[in-house]
Chain A
Amino acid sequence: MNTLLVAPILFPLLLGLLTLATWRYKKVQELINVAGAFIFLYIGFRLVSEVLNNGMMHFQAGSWEAPFGITIIADTFSAIMVLITTVMAFATSIYSVSSMKNKKRLLSDMVGKKRQFAYYPLLNIMYMGINGAFLTGDLFNMYVWFEVMLISSFILLSIDGTKKALEGTFKYVTINLISSAFFLLGVGFLYGLTGTLNMADLAVRVTEIENQALVTLVAMFFLVSFGIKAAVFPLFFWLPASYHTPPISIAAIFAGMLTKVGVYSLIRVFTLIFIQDVGFTHTILLWIAGLTMFVGVIGAASQYDMRRILSFHIISQIGYMILGLALYTPLALAGGIFYIMHHIIVKGNLFLVAGLANRVKGSFEIRNIGELVNSYPFLGVLFLIPALSLAGIPPLSGFWAKFFVIKAGLEVQEYFVVFVALLVGLLTLFSMMKIWNEAFWKKDPGKAENTDQVIPGLFNRHNIFMTIPIILLAMITLTIGFFPEPFFQIAERTANELMNPSIYINTVLGGTQ
């Protein structure tokens, strides 16, 4: 049994149990969580280095041979997704030390207790679900990990118990249950067609089916299910309705990770299993990508709450990743994967910055605050790094991500969608500048609604733990921006593995094919 391979799943479970056991002792719980997140980060690094050096790792649960048992497999794609999860987990674990307490909600009151009881344990259980979904090689097992992730996210979303949080959760729960039903139906149909659920085995068996139209039909079930989770064009309405309601550290981890689990699953099934009718399925994906990008960014332009603007930008950025998948060339996929790596860090960071701005000014509503750059010039820098990176200004990481995807689009002569992608980049810049102009530059109208919760200062003992992870993530963005070479090599290697599913299949089935 390969310990390193199951560690990203089992370790967060252990951490969740430990933080649950210590819930009465706030300091101990925080310490365990931060120290645990550090070890978690180490596990992520070890997994990636192991996979990069020795190729794919796999493990058959209970020693049942491949198509019969549940396979846990880490190819480069899974490994980097796990690493990014651990990075985000580490950043939010530090951030939560400051952000989860404020003047109004001290330890003694009920909300504080509820937060302490549920927050850290469920966050860790959610990481378990996310990593499980990344590492599993079995479709039904993936469904189970999705549910683990979803149930934790339901509770995290509603943890504050405010009107908005409950309404947001209600919408999120409803649409996600429908998505799960679609996923289950797809799994059922696929099992009826092939008699297997192992993804590698499925990749082999679906080619043997005579009626390929049926396979494409089943592919649509997966497209709808994962499309809801990834918040692509016609199915994204739940996201801006719910992501601005929870505490900001939860919003950051949701914004960074959860939709990307959907994108990961889409890329996984549409490069491994459903590749028989690329002309049909990937053309649909191309349309979805273009529309997702455009509608998302237009939605953002009409908003004035920082969290809502950023939520709409998640949608538009998802479009670029789907574009990478839809073009379906090695360069495009590499670009899409590079985009995921860059995006999770940047988007998570922007939410964290928004949380800090709220902490020092008392509002997320950019019309109600101003002059941030006068009192906190350093916060301005910390905002501009991820914001400009999101818009794709060179030499930041977003520039390279957009560059690779667009170059791939030009190579296959999809000029229209390339035009949309460029236009969306421009509109993204517009909406980042809107936040900058309103919240950082304009004269402060002094209308912030939560002035009683304001704690000024970036580096005092109340806020220092919110500033540190922002700096950390900004450094990662700069590193990817200035040294894109190694990151792109990893993305290229991932794309290569995805474009040649036989490597994956041979690893799981032991070269019998």
Chain B
Amino acid sequence: MESLLAILIGGLFASAIYMILRRSIIKLIIGLSLLAHASNLLIFTISSTVRGKAPLIQEGEKHITEAVADPLPQALILTAIVIGFGVTAFTIVLIRQVYQIVGQSDANELTLTDS
């Protein structure tokens, strides 16, 4: 499971970087959200994936005795996903506005503010 996820994450990172380096600003935004998802999955994998074991102390026990799923990374990812969603929504509106007002969707041509 973990090695599968590792390959998936690697693929996501690779495609994210490929998309970010494209000149189209729309592809760039896709790349950025792929990057965010790749990081989220990485956090999920890094804290060891355990299936079907809730982090509950069994009746009669004082502490957890077997390997259980760690709930904290999942909470972190949930927060990061929500933030990422808001940011993506903003960037989509932004590139629409950039395209309308600057009239360019090619990142190479956006040189107005460079010195």
Residues of A in contact with B (beta carbons under 8 Å apart): 140, 143-144, 147, 150-151, 154-155, 158, 161-164, 166-171, 173-174, 177-178, 180-181, 184-185, 187-189, 191-192, 197, 240-242, 244-245, 299, 302-303, 308
- Does B108 touch A at the CB level, under 8 Å? no
Cβ distance A374 to chain B, nearest Cβ, rounded Å: 30
Cβ distance A273 to chain B, nearest Cβ, rounded Å: 17
Contact B102 A188 (CB under 8 A): no
Contact A181 B39 (CB under 8 A): yes
Among A164, A174, A240, point to the contact of B112 (Cβ < 8 A): A164
Cβ distance A395 to chain B, nearest Cβ, rounded Å: 34
Extra pairs beyond A154-B94, A177-B32, A185-B39 (11, CB < 8 Å): A154-B90, A164-B113, A166-B97, A166-B102, A171-B110, A171-B113, A185-B43, A188-B42, A191-B72, A191-B76, A241-B113
Contact B98 A187 (CB under 8 A): no
- Does B46 touch A at the CB level, under 8 Å? yes
**A181-B36 contact in complex given A144-B83, A164-B113, A166-B102, C-beta closer than 8 Å:** yes
- Does B47 touch A at the CB level, under 8 Å? yes
Q: CA separation between A240 and B98, bound complex, in Å?
A: 19
Contact B94 A173 (CB under 8 A): yes
What are 6 A-B pairs at a CB distance below 8 A?
A140-B76, A170-B94, A177-B36, A188-B46, A191-B43, A308-B115
Q: CA separation between A178 and B101, bound complex, in Å?
A: 25
Contact B114 A173 (CB under 8 A): no
Cβ distance A461 to chain B, nearest Cβ, rounded Å: 34
Cβ distance B45 to chain A, nearest Cβ, rounded Å: 9
The residue among A150, A154, A166, A244 with the most chain B CB atoms within 10 A of its own CB is: A166
Neighbouring B residues of A192 by C-beta, 8 Å? 43, 46-47
Among B20, B97, B101, B115, point to the contact of A303 (Cβ < 8 A): B115
Chain A, Cβ-Cβ closest to B110: A167
- Does B68 touch A at the CB level, under 8 Å? no
- Does B30 touch A at the CB level, under 8 Å? no
Report the interface size for chain B: residues with CB under 8 A from the other chain. 34
Cβ distance B69 to chain A, nearest Cβ, rounded Å: 14
Q: CA separation between A170 and B113, bound complex, in Å?
A: 11
Neighbouring B residues of A242 by C-beta, 8 Å? 113
**A188-B32 contact in complex given A166-B94, A167-B113, A173-B91, C-beta closer than 8 Å:** no
Contact A147 B46 (CB under 8 A): no
**A181-B35 contact in complex given A166-B94, A170-B95, A187-B76, C-beta closer than 8 Å:** yes
Neighbouring A residues of B97 by C-beta, 8 Å? 158, 161, 166
Cβ distance A328 to chain B, nearest Cβ, rounded Å: 30
**A178-B35 contact in complex given A166-B94, A166-B101, C-beta closer than 8 Å:** yes
**A161-B101 contact in complex given A144-B83, A181-B36, C-beta closer than 8 Å:** yes
**A167-B42 contact in complex given A158-B97, A188-B73, C-beta closer than 8 Å:** no
Cβ distance B29 to chain A, nearest Cβ, rounded Å: 9
Among A150, A155, A174, point to the contact of B28 (Cβ < 8 A): A174
Neighbouring B residues of A245 by C-beta, 8 Å? 113
Contact A144 B43 (CB under 8 A): no
Q: CA separation between A240 and B114, bound complex, in Å?
A: 8
Q: CA separation between A308 and B115, bound complex, in Å?
A: 9
Contact B91 A166 (CB under 8 A): no
Among A147, A166, A302, point to the contact of B83 (Cβ < 8 A): A147
Neighbouring A residues of B47 by C-beta, 8 Å? 191-192
The 5 A-B residue pairs whose C-beta atoms are closest, nearest first, are A192-B46, A188-B43, A184-B39, A241-B113, A181-B35
Cβ distance B84 to chain A, nearest Cβ, rounded Å: 9
- Does B14 touch A at the CB level, under 8 Å? no
- Does B67 touch A at the CB level, under 8 Å? no
Q: CA separation between A178 and B33, bound complex, in Å?
A: 10
Q: CA separation between A303 and B115, bound complex, in Å?
A: 8
Among A154, A177, A184, A299, point to the contact of B43 (Cβ < 8 A): A184
Contact A191 B46 (CB under 8 A): yes
Q: CA separation between A189 and B44, bound complex, in Å?
A: 10
Contact A166 B98 (CB under 8 A): yes
Q: CA separation between A242 and B86, bound complex, in Å?
A: 22
Contact B87 A151 (CB under 8 A): yes
Neighbouring B residues of A177 by C-beta, 8 Å? 32, 35-36, 87, 91
Cβ distance B106 to chain A, nearest Cβ, rounded Å: 12
- Does B79 touch A at the CB level, under 8 Å? yes
Chain A, Cβ-Cβ closest to B98: A166
Q: CA separation between A302 and B114, bound complex, in Å?
A: 13
Q: CA separation between A187 and B98, bound complex, in Å?
A: 32
**A302-B95 contact in complex given A181-B35, A185-B39, A191-B47, C-beta closer than 8 Å:** no
Neighbouring A residues of B25 by C-beta, 8 Å? 170
The residue among A162, A177, A178, A299 with the most chain B CB atoms within 10 A of its own CB is: A177
